[in-house]
Amino acid sequence: MNPDTGSELVFVYGTLRRGGSNAFRMDGAEFVGPATVRGVLYRISWYPGLVLDGDGRVCGEVYRVGPELLRALDDFEGLAAGEIEGSEYRRVRVEALAGDGEELEVWVYEWKGAFDENERIQSGDWLGVQTSRRDRSQ
């Protein structure tokens, strides 16, 4: 936590990103910029899951959030009050590589459940997959 402001940096990679179906949940957060983290992205259902093992890069965005919004995000991701580990996701600190090359320490929600290797998103970009699916259906 940043002791001066009580804020935290959070990396989002799926439906919470700008243009994602749950982007409204980031209202009140300060957009810091695009970034990537080391890991692998899988389609779980209508949402993705990030697995931190692997040598891929996952695309996302970094936001600065206050304690209240961080608690709301924890709740959305299924974490109990005051906990950082839920049944599907856990919140962990990782290094993110910002678009300008700066390394940032961020919170990320890592998928803990089962996943199908056939559902791996090779590009590491959930919104890119969602956009291409919409384009094919039109």
Output 23-30 pairs: Cβ under 8 A, ≥24 positions apart: 25/72, 25/73, 25/76, 26/63, 26/65, 26/69, 28/65, 28/66, 28/69, 29/63, 29/64, 29/65, 29/69, 30/63, 30/64, 30/65
- Is 61 a known active-site residue? no
What is the number of other CB atoms lying within 10 angstroms of the CB of residue 122?
Answer: 9
- Look up residue 4 and give its two tokens: 């001066």
Residue among 8, 77, 102, 103 flagged as catalytic: 77
Contacts of 50 (CB under 8 A, 6+ apart): 13, 14, 37, 39, 40, 41, 42, 58, 108, 109, 110, 111
Which residues form the catalytic set? 77
